[in-house]
C-alpha cells in the first residue's frame, strides 16, 4: 500500500520533469553549458597575456632575455615601450598587466659577472594574476641567468627544484572539471526539489495530495527520490564526459565515488526540501534557492580554497556538504585518495543529510496542520 | 432608444493563423445609459470582445468604433474615456485601498480639485471607507471587485467595461455591485457586463448572447425569456426519488433541459412538444406537474441546443446505501487564529446519500469549516469524522474514505489525462489490475478516451471538470467533498457536472459542497448557512425559503432567503450590542 | 489632458506605486537588499586568493645548522604554517588527503649542494590539484628562499652571476585579492538589481494581470517604462553607495578615484542593466521565466566574462570574442581602476562610451518590442 502510493508519486514527479520538452531541456542544457563554461572560461590560469618591456640596454644579453620572454607560453607577445612613463600609461590602460624594465647597464654587469637588477612592474588591480605572472618572469629570468652563467665560469645561484604532483602541469581544467560532477547536479537538484513543492502549492495540487491518504513522510520521500534519480543520472553523465571527454581518469574507486555522491545529493535534497517547505510560491522558492546556493558555492573551496577564509567562516564551510564532496572528488580523480580518507568526508555529509531531511519532514508535518 | 456608444462592424479576431477565430464576423452595437449583458458559455469569446472594445487587442478584420474613435488607430484616446475592469482582479494587491485609488486617479488625470470629493463619494459608494489602509490583497473577493469598480469609475467614464465582475462574489456583495452599476447608468454611462451567471442577465436592459465567437441573440432578455412561455414546467412531490426522476426525464427527447430546484425539478420542453406528463417522464404517482414562469436561463440553454444528451453511465460501481454510521459528522468544530474565531462550535451530521451545502458570504468561515472537514486544517476544538473515523486521529484511513475536488482546477496540468488518473489511483493505494481497471472505468464513464493523451492543462473546461471529478472518486469513496465546484462555470458544463453527482448520490454516496452560488445550493438536500463563524440556519432549501416568507415577498428565492437570514442576524447583533 | 503635465503626473504616480511595491514585496526585497548584502559579504570574506597560511610539510633529511636556519626562516614568515619531519613519506598521505599544500625537502647534503650552487639542494612538491594555490606556494617558497639567501649573503661576497628581480606591485602592494574581488562583486550586484529586479517587476504585472487594467488607462508605453526604470535606477544607485561605504569602511579598500566619476560610471552601467532587464521582460511574461532568463543572459556572463574572477586572456578565442559584448566586462575594468588606480581617463572614457552605446542599442530594441496591447 505504502509502496504503491510512493511509486505513484515518484512516477508522477519524473513524468512532470521529463514530459515537457522544455522541462527536458532545462535538465540537460544548463548543466552542459555550465560544464563547458567552467572548463574553458572559468580559469585562474594566466596564459597568453601580453607583456611589456622597457629596454634601456643596448647589449645582446637584454635582447636574449626579451626573446626568452617572447617565446614563453605564458606570454602572447612582447610590447616594447620607450620609457617608463609610456609603460606606466600602458598599465593604467590595462593594455598589459606586467612590464619588465631592463636598466641600461644590464648587459655590461652581466658580462662582468656582477648582479644586474631588473624591475618588474605589475598591475596590482588583479593581484592574483599579477603574482602568478611575477613568478613566471622570475622563473624565466632565473633560468636565463643559470644558463648564461653555466657557460661562463662561476656557479649560478641555487634554484629550487619545483614539481607538482597529481597534476604535473598545474592545468586549471584538470582541477576544475572533476568538481563539476557534484556542483552542477547540486544546482539542478536544488531547483527541481526546491521548486516542486512550491509549484504544487501555487497550482493547488498540494491540497489534493494532502487530502489523499499519503502521509507527510511519504510526500517527503516522493519528492526526494526523483531528485536523487535525476541528480545521480546527471552525476553519471558528467562523470563520463569528464573521464572520456576531458580525459581525466578516475584514479580512486568508482564505488566510493557513487557512495559519496549519493550521500551528498541526499544532504542537498534535505536542504532543498527545507527551503521549499518555507516557500509558498515558486518565486519565493527560487529566491530561497539562490540565497542558499550562492553561499554554498562560494564557501566550499569551489572557487578559492577553504583555508584562505577567515577563521570565523571556517565552521560554515565545514558545515557545507559541497566542501566535503569537493575534497572527495579532487581526491578520487587526481590523487587516488584511499577509501578511508574519503570516508572522513562522507560521514559529515551523511550527518547533514540526516539532519536536513528530518528537519524538512518536520516542517512538512507542521505545514499540514 | 439611445445613440450607440460602440459600433462593431463585421469584426473578426484570430489569434493563431489557421485556428478557429475567437470572434467571427460579429456585428453589433452597444448603447449608452443602460447595462448591456454579454453572456455565453466559456470560450464563447466574451473576454476577447471586451479587450477588443477596450483597444487592448487589435482586430484581425472589421472595425470597432468606440465613441466615434477607431480602436485600431486611436487607442490612447479611447483609454482616456473608458473604464475597464479585467476579469482577473486588476489592482495591485500590495498597495492599500487608498494607494490604488490615488494611483488610478493620477493615471486617469483626475483634477486635484475633484479628488477629495471623488474619493469620498466612491468610498462611501463602495462601503470601503473603513478599509482605506488595508492592502488590496487582504480584501475579500467582493470588496476587491468593488474597489476595482471604483478605480474604473474614477473619472466618470462614458463607457464602463466589466469582465465577469461577479465571479467569486457572494450574493450580498453581488447585489451591491449591481446597485453601484445602476447608479451609474442613471448618469448616462453605458455599461457592458459579461457574465456566466444567467440570473444576472435578467438585470440587463439588453443582452448579447454569444457562442463560439458569434452572436446568437441580441435584444431585451425578457423578450428572449418570453419565447419560452408554455415550455417550462415544475414537477413537485417526487421526494427522495427526484434525482432519478430528473435523469429519466432528461432521457426523453422532448425534454431539452432539466435542473433541480430544491425539492422540485424544473423541465424545459423542446419547441412544439406537448407538456410533460407523469407517464412520459416516468414520475411516481404522487408527483404534480405544473407550468412555471420561464427564466432567462431556460431560454439560454434552449438557444444553445439544450442540455447535451450523452448516454450517461454512472460513475463508480460500489453501492454505499447500507452503511450504519453517519458518513460525515462535525462535532463542535472550532478554529481560532489568534484572537479571531473563524469557526465557532459548528456541529452538523450528514445522512447517507445526501447532498449537504455549506453556504455563507465570503470570509464567513465556511472555507475554514470545509478545510477542517477535509483534514487540511487542524481544529482548535471539536471533532471532524468521516465514516466514523476522526480525520486527525486516523488521518490516512479517514482520508481514504473521502474524495476531494478543489475550487480551482488542481490537477497536474503538465501531465496527460491518463497520467493524472494513474497518479491519483496510485496515490490512493490502487495497484496492478485494480488500478488498470479503475482507470479504464473512469475513462469509459467520463468519456475521456479522445483526450487520454492530452495534457490536462489543455483540456476544454468541461473535460477538465470531468477529469477532476474522476480523479477525486478514483478510489470510489463513500464521501465526496466539493469546494465551489462550478463557480464561474457556464450553465451547460454545470448541468453536466451535477448530472454525475446526482447519479453518484443515487448509489448512496454522500456529498458535502461549499458554495455561495445559489444554483449549486438548489441541488442540495439540506444546507447550513455559515455566518461570522457560526451555523445560523440549517435546513432544506424549501425550509429556509419558507422561514423568510413575508407578505411583501410571497415566493422568496434561495438567494432572498440567504440575504434575509444574514441581514436578520446582523440586525440582531447590532441590537444586542 | 494628454499634455506634458498629465504625463508627468502619471509618471510620478507610477514611480510612487513601483517604489511602494518594491518596499512591500518580499522577493523584491530579497533581490534589492538580501542578495547584494550576501554577495558583498561572500566576495569580501568568503573568497580569497591570498594564501594567508600555506600549509607546508618540511622535510629535513639531515638537520644541519644551515638546514635548521632555513627551516626557522620559513617558520617565521606569516605565509606558512610548517610541520617538520625527517622523511618525505611522512607527508605523502597528508598531501593525498589535501591536508597540506606542499612539501619542501632539504636534502641530506643540503649544505654541500648549497655551497656548490647545485639546484637539487632544495625541492618543492606542490599539490597540483589546486593549481592556483600550487602556483602561489611556489611563489612564496621561492620568495622565502631568495630572502634567506640574500640574508646569508650579507657580509659575504655577493654570489657572482644571477639576476636580481625586483617586483613592484602597483595599486595593490599589499596583494589583497579582496581589493579586486569586492569592486567586481559590485558589478554583479548592479546587474542583479538592474536586470533581475526590472525583469521581475514587469513580468509580475503580466502574471498578476494588473497590466490589463493599466493598459486600459491613458498610460503610454514610454510612461510605463519610465515608471519602472526610475525606482530601480534609484535603488541601484543606493546599492552602489552602500557598497562603496562597505568597501571603504568594512573591507578597507581605498577609493583612489573620485566619487563623482564612480557615480557617473555606475549610472552608465545601470542604464545597460536596466535596458537588458526591460528587454528580458518583453519576452518573459512570468516571473519564473524572467528570473531564469535574467540569470542566463545577465548574471552568468557577468560572473564568467567580466574578468573580475577569471582571466579572460586565458580563455579560448571564441569565448574572448564573446566577452566583448558583455557589459560587465567594461564596468569591472572601470570599477577596479576607479577604486585602486584613480580616475584614469584612458580607461574610464572608452569603457564608459561602450556602456552608453550598449544602453542605447538595448533601449531602442526594447522600445520597439514593447507593446501597448495584449496581443
Grid cell at residue B467: 477529469
For residue B54, is pLDDT > 60? yes
CB within 8 Å: B429 and A7: no
For residue B312, is pLDDT > 70? no
Cβ burial A86-112 (10 Å sphere, 16+ → b, else e) = ebbebbbebbbbbbbbbbeebbebbee
CB within 8 Å: B54 and C216: yes
B464-475, pLDDT tens digit by residue?
A: 888 999 999 888
Which residues of C fall within a CB distance of 8 Å from A118?
A: 163-166
Under the banding of pLDDT at 50, 70 and 90, the label for residue B249 is confident
Grid cell at residue C241: 553607495
Under the banding of pLDDT at 50, 70 and 90, the label for residue B1 is very low
C172-215, pLDDT tens digit by residue?
A: 777 778 888 888 888 888 888 889 888 888 888 888 888 888 88
Q: How far apart (Å, rounded) are the C-alpha atoms in residues B420 and A11?
A: 11
Residue C167 pLDDT: 79
Q: Which residue has the higher pLDDT, A180 or A166?
A: A180
C286 Cα to chain B: minimum distance (Å):
16
B150 in contact with C at a CB cutoff of 8 Å? no
Q: Which chains touch A (3 or more CB pairs under 8 A)?
A: B, C
Q: Which chains touch C (3 or more CB pairs under 8 A)?
A: A, B
**What value does the mean pLDDT take over residues A321-325?**
93
Beta bridge partners of B403: B480
CB within 8 Å: B404 and A208: yes
Residue C98 pLDDT: 79
Long-range contacts: C234-240, Cβ < 8 Å, 24+?
C234/C19, C235/C22, C235/C32, C235/C193, C235/C197, C236/C190, C236/C193, C236/C194, C236/C266, C236/C270, C236/C273, C236/C274, C237/C263, C237/C266, C237/C267, C237/C270, C239/C32, C239/C36, C239/C189, C239/C190, C239/C193, C240/C186, C240/C190, C240/C266
A5 Cα to chain B: minimum distance (Å):
4
Q: Which of residues 155-214 of C touch B (CB under 8 A)?
A: 208-210, 212-214
Residue B423 pLDDT: 92
For residue B197, is pLDDT > 60? yes
A318 in contact with C at a CB cutoff of 8 Å? no
What is chain A's alpha carbon radius of gyration, rounded to the nearest angstrom?
Answer: 28
pTM of this structure: 0.83
Under the banding of pLDDT at 50, 70 and 90, the label for residue A135 is confident
Residue B89 pLDDT: 66
For residue A150, is pLDDT > 60? no
Least trusted range by pLDDT, from B116-120, B303-307, C362-366: B303-307
Least trusted range by pLDDT, from A250-254, B483-487, C333-337: B483-487
For residue A156, is pLDDT > 60? no
Q: How far apart (Å, rounded) are the C-alpha atoms in residues B483 and B410?
A: 12
CB within 8 Å: C217 and B148: no
For an interface test with A, the pick among B429, B464, B479 (most A C-beta atoms closer than 10 Å) comes out as B429
A131 in contact with C at a CB cutoff of 8 Å? yes
A281 in contact with B at a CB cutoff of 8 Å? no
Q: Is C171 left (phi over 0), alpha (psi -120 to 50) or beta?
A: left
B363-385, pLDDT tens digit by residue?
A: 788 888 998 998 888 899 999 99
Residue B50 pLDDT: 92
A203 in contact with C at a CB cutoff of 8 Å? no
Handedness of CA C9, C15, C17, C19 (dihedral sign): negative
B23 Cα to chain A: minimum distance (Å):
30
Q: Which residues of chain C have pLDDT under 70?
A: 1-3, 51-52, 117-120, 153-162, 372
Q: Which residue has the higher pLDDT, C313 or B405?
A: B405
The ipTM of this complex is 0.81
Option in B79, B99, B103 nearest C218 (CB): B79
Q: Which residue has the higher pLDDT, C151 or A102?
A: A102
Which residues of C fall within a CB distance of 8 Å from A45?
A: 131, 311, 314
Which residues of C fall within a CB distance of 8 Å from B109?
A: 1, 6, 9-10, 218
CB within 8 Å: B85 and C213: yes
Residue A154 pLDDT: 45
**What value does the mean pLDDT take over residues B539-546?**
88
Residue C118 pLDDT: 65
CA distances from B148 to B108, B114, B336, C144, C185 (A): 14, 20, 31, 75, 43
Residue B334 pLDDT: 93
Residue A206's closest chain B neighbor by CA? B410
C160 in contact with A at a CB cutoff of 8 Å? yes
Element (H, E) at B234: strand B232-236
Residue A151 pLDDT: 54
C132 in contact with A at a CB cutoff of 8 Å? yes
Number of H helices, E strands in chain C: 17, 5
* ∠ CA B243-B244-B245, rounded to 5°: 90
**What value does the mean pLDDT take over residues A268-288?**
86
**What value does the mean pLDDT take over residues B354-362?**
87
Q: How far apart (Å, rounded) are the C-alpha atoms in residues B344 and B230?
A: 48
B89 in contact with C at a CB cutoff of 8 Å? yes
The burial class, CB within 10 Å (0-12 / 13-18 / 19+), for B31 is: middle
Amino acid at each position: 500500500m505504502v509502496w504503491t502510493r510512493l511509486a505513484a508519486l515518484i512516477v508522477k514527479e519524473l513524468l512532470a520533469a521529463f514530459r515537457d520538452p522544455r522541462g527536458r531541456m532545462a535538465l540537460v542544457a544548463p548543466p552542459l553549458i555550465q560544464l563547458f563554461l567552467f572548463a574553458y572560461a572559468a580559469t585562474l590560469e594566466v596564459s597568453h597575456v601580453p607583456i611589456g618591456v622597457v629596454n634601456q640596454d643596448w647589449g645582446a644579453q637584454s635582447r636574449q632575455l626579451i626573446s626568452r620572454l617572447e617565446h614563453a607560453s605564458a606570454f602572447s607577445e612582447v610590447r616594447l615601450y620607450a620609457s617608463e612613463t609610456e609603460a606606466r600609461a600602458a598599465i593604467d590602460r590595462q593594455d598589459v598587466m606586467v612590464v619588465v624594465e631592463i636598466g641600461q647597464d644590464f648587459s655590461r654587469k652581466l658580462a662582468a659577472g656582477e648582479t644586474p637588477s631588473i624591475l618588474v612592474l605589475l598591475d596590482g588591480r588583479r593581484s592574483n594574476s599579477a603574482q602568478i605572472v611575477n613568478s613566471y618572469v622570475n622563473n624565466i629570468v632565473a633560468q636565463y641567468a643559470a644558463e648564461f652563467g653555466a657557460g661562463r665560469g662561476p656557479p649560478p645561484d641555487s634554484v629550487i627544484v619545483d614539481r607538482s604532483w597529481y597534476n604535473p602541469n598545474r592545468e586549471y581544467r584538470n582541477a576544475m572539471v572533476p568538481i563539476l560532477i557534484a556542483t552542477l547536479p547540486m544546482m539542478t537538484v536544488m531547483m527541481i526539489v526546491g521548486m516542486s513543492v512550491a509549484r504544487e502549492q501555487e497550482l493547488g495540487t498540494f491540497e489534493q495530495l494532502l487530502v489523499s491518504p499519503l502521509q507527510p513522510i511519504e510526500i517527503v520521500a516522493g519528492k526526494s527520490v526523483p531528485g536523487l534519480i535525476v541528480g545521480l543520472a546527471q552525476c553519471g553523465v558528467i562523470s563520463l564526459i569528464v573521464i572520456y571527454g576531458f580525459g581525466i581518469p578516475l584514479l580512486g574507486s568508482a564505488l566510493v565515488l557513487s557512495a559519496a555522491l549519493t550521500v551528498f545529493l541526499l544532504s542537498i535534497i534535505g536542504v532543498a526540501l527545507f527551503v521549499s517547505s518555507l516557500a509558498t510560491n515558486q518565486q519565493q522558492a527560487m529566491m530561497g534557492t539562490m540565497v542558499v546556493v550562492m553561499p554554498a558555492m562560494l564557501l566550499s573551496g569551489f572557487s578559492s580554497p577553504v583555508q584562505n577564509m577567515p577563521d570565523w567562516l571556517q565552521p560554515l564551510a565545514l558545515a557545507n556538504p559541497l566542501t566535503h564532496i569537493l575534497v572527495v572528488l579532487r581526491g578520487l580523480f587526481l590523487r587516488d585518495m584511499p577509501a578511508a580518507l574519503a570516508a572522513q568526508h562522507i560521514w559529515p555529509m551523511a550527518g547533514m543529510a540526516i539532519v536536513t531531511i528530518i528537519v524538512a519532514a518536520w516542517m512538512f508535518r507542521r505545514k499540514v496542520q | 432608444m439611445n445613440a450607440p456608444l460602440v459600433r462593431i462592424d463585421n469584426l473578426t479576431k484570430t489569434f493563431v493563423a489557421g485556428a478557429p477565430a475567437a470572434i467571427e464576423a460579429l456585428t453589433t452595437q452597444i448603447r449608452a445609459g443602460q447595462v448591456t449583458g454579454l453572456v455565453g458559455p466559456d470560450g464563447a469569446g466574451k473576454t476577447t470582445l471586451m479587450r477588443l472594445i477596450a483597444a487592448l487587442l487589435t482586430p484581425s478584420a472589421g472595425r470597432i468604433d468606440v465613441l466615434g474613435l477607431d480602436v485600431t488607430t486611436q487607442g490612447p484616446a479611447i483609454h482616456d474615456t473608458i473604464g475597464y475592469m479585467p476579469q482577473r482582479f486588476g489592482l495591485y494587491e500590495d498597495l492599500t485601498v487608498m494607494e490604488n485609488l490615488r494611483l488610478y486617479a493620477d493615471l486617469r488625470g483626475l483634477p486635484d480639485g475633484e479628488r477629495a470629493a471623488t474619493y469620498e463619494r466612491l468610498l462611501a459608494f463602495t462601503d470601503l471607507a473603513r478599509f482605506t489602509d488595508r492592502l488590496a490583497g487582504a480584501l475579500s473577493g467582493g470588496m476587491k471587485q468593488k474597489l476595482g469598480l471604483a478605480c474604473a469609475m474614477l473619472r466618470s467614464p462614458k463607457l464602463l467595461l466589466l469582465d465577469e465582475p461577479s465571479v467569486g462574489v457572494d450574493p450580498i456583495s453581488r447585489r451591491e455591485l449591481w446597485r453601484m452599476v445602476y447608479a451609474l447608468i442613471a448618469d448616462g454611462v453605458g455599461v457592458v457586463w459579461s457574465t456566466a451567471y444567467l440570473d444576472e442577465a435578467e438585470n440587463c436592459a439588453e443582452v448579447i448572447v454569444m457562442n463560439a465567437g458569434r452572436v446568437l441573440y441580441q435584444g431585451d432578455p425578457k423578450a428572449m425569456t418570453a419565447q419560452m412561455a408554455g415550455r417550462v414546467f415544475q414537477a413537485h412531490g417526487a421526494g427522495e426519488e427526484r434525482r432519478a426522476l430528473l435523469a429519466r426525464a432528461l432521457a426523453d427527447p422532448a425534454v431539452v433541459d432539466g435542473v433541480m430546484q430544491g425539492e422540485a425539478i424544473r423541465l424545459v420542453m423542446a419547441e412544439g412538444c406537448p407538456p410533460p406528463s407523469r407517464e412520459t417522464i416516468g414520475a411516481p404517482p404522487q408527483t404534480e406537474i405544473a407550468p412555471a414562469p420561464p427564466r432567462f436561463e431556460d431560454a439560454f440553454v434552449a438557444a444553445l441546443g439544450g442540455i447535451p444528451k450523452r448516454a450517461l453511465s454512472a460513475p463508480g460501481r460500489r453501492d454505499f446505501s447500507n452503511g450504519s454510521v453517519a458518513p460525515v459528522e462535525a462535532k463542535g468544530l472550532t478554529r481560532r487564529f489568534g484572537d479571531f474565531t473563524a469557526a465557532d462550535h459548528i456541529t452538523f451530521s450528514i445522512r447517507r446519500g445526501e447532498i449537504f451545502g455549506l453556504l455563507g458570504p465570503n470570509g464567513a468561515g465556511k472555507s475554514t469549516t470545509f478545510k477542517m472537514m477535509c483534514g487540511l486544517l487542524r481544529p482548535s476544538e471539536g471533532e471532524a469524522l468521516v465514516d466514523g473515523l476522526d480525520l486527525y486521529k486516523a488521518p490516512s484511513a479517514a482520508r481514504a474514505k473521502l474524495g476531494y475536488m478543489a475550487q480551482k482546477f488542481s490537477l497536474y496540468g503538465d501531465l496527460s489525462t491518463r497520467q493524472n488518473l494513474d497518479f491519483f489511483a496510485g496515490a490512493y493505494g490502487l495497484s496492478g489490475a485494480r488500478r488498470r481497471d479503475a482507470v479504464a472505468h473512469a475513462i469509459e464513464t467520463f468519456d475521456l478516451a479522445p483526450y487520454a493523451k492530452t495534457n490536462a492543462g489543455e483540456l476544454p473546461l468541461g473535460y477538465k471538470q470531468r477529469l477532476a471529478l474522476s480523479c477525486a472518486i478514483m478510489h470510489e469513496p463513500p464521501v465526496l467533498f466539493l469546494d465551489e465546484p462550478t463557480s464561474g462555470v457556464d450553465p451547460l458544463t454545470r448541468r453536466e457536472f451535477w448530472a454525475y453527482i446526482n447519479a453518484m448520490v443515487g448509489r448512496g454516496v454522500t456529498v458535502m459542497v461549499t458554495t455561495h452560488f445559489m444554483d449549486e445550493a438548489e441541488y442540495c438536500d439540506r444546507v447550513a448557512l455559515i455566518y461570522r463563524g457560526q451555523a445560523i440556519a440549517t435546513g432544506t432549501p424549501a425550509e429556509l425559503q419558507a422561514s423568510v416568507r413575508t407578505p411583501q415577498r410571497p415566493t422568496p428565492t434561495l438567494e432572498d432567503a440567504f440575504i434575509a437570514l444574514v441581514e436578520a442576524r446582523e440586525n440582531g447583533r447590532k441590537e444586542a450590542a | 489632458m494628454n499634455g506634458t503635465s498629465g504625463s508627468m503626473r502619471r509618471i510620478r504616480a507610477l514611480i510612487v506605486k513601483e517604489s511602494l511595491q518594491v518596499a512591500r514585496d518580499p522577493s523584491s526585497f530579497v533581490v534589492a537588499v538580501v542578495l547584494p548584502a550576501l554577495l558583498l559579504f561572500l566576495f569580501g570574506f568568503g573568497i580569497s586568493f591570498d594564501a594567508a597560511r600555506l600549509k607546508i610539510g618540511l622535510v629535513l633529511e639531515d638537520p644541519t645548522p644551515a638546514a635548521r636556519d632555513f627551516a626557522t626562516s620559513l617558520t617565521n614568515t606569516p605565509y606558512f604554517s610548517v610541520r617538520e619531519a625527517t622523511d618525505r613519506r611522512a607527508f605523502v598521505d597528508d598531501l593525498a588527503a589535501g591536508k597540506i599544500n606542499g612539501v619542501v625537502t632539504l636534502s641530506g647534503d643540503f649544505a654541500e649542494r648549497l655551497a656548490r650552487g647545485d639546484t637539487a639542494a632544495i625541492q618543492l612538491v606542490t599539490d597540483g590539484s589546486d593549481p592556483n594555490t600550487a602556483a602561489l606556494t611556489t611563489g612564496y617558497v621561492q620568495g622565502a628562499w631568495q630572502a634567506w639567501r640574500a640574508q646569508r649573503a650579507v657580509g659575504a661576497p655577493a654570489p657572482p652571476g644571477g639576476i636580481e628581480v625586483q617586483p613592484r606591485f602597483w595599486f595593490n602592494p599589499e596583494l589583497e585579492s579582496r581589493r579586486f574581488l569586492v569592486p567586481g562583486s559590485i558589478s554583479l550586484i548592479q546587474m542583479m538589481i538592474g536586470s533581475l529586479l526590472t525583469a521581475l517587476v514587469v513580468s509580475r504585472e503580466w502574471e498578476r494581470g494588473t497590466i490589463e487594467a493599466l493598459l486600459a488607462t491613458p498610460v503610454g508605453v514610454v510612461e510605463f517604462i519610465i515608471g519602472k526604470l526610475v525606482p530601480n535606477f534609484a535603488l541601484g544607485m543606493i546599492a552602489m553607495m552602500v557598497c562603496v561605504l562597505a568597501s571603504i569602511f568594512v573591507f578597507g579598500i581605498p577609493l583612489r578615484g573620485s566619487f563623482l566619476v564612480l557615480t557617473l560610471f555606475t549610472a552608465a552601467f545601470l542604464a545597460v542593466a536596466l535596458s537588458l532587464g526591460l528587454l528580458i521582460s518583453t519576452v518573459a511574461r512570468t516571473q519564473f521565466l524572467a528570473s531564469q532568463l535574467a540569470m542566463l543572459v545577465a548574471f552568468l556572463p557577468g560572473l564568467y566574462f567580466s574578468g573580475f574572477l577569471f582571466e579572460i586572456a586565458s580563455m579560448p578565442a571564441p569565448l574572448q570574442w564573446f566577452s566583448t559584448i558583455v557589459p560587465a566586462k567594461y564596468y569591472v575594468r572601470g570599477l577596479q581602476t576607479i577604486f585602486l588606480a584613480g580616475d584614469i581617463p584612458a580607461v574610464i572614457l572608452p569603457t564608459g562610451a561602450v556602456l552608453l552605446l550598449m544602453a542605447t542599442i538595448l533601449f531602442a530594441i526594447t522600445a520597439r518590442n514593447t507593446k501597448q496591447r495584449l496581443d
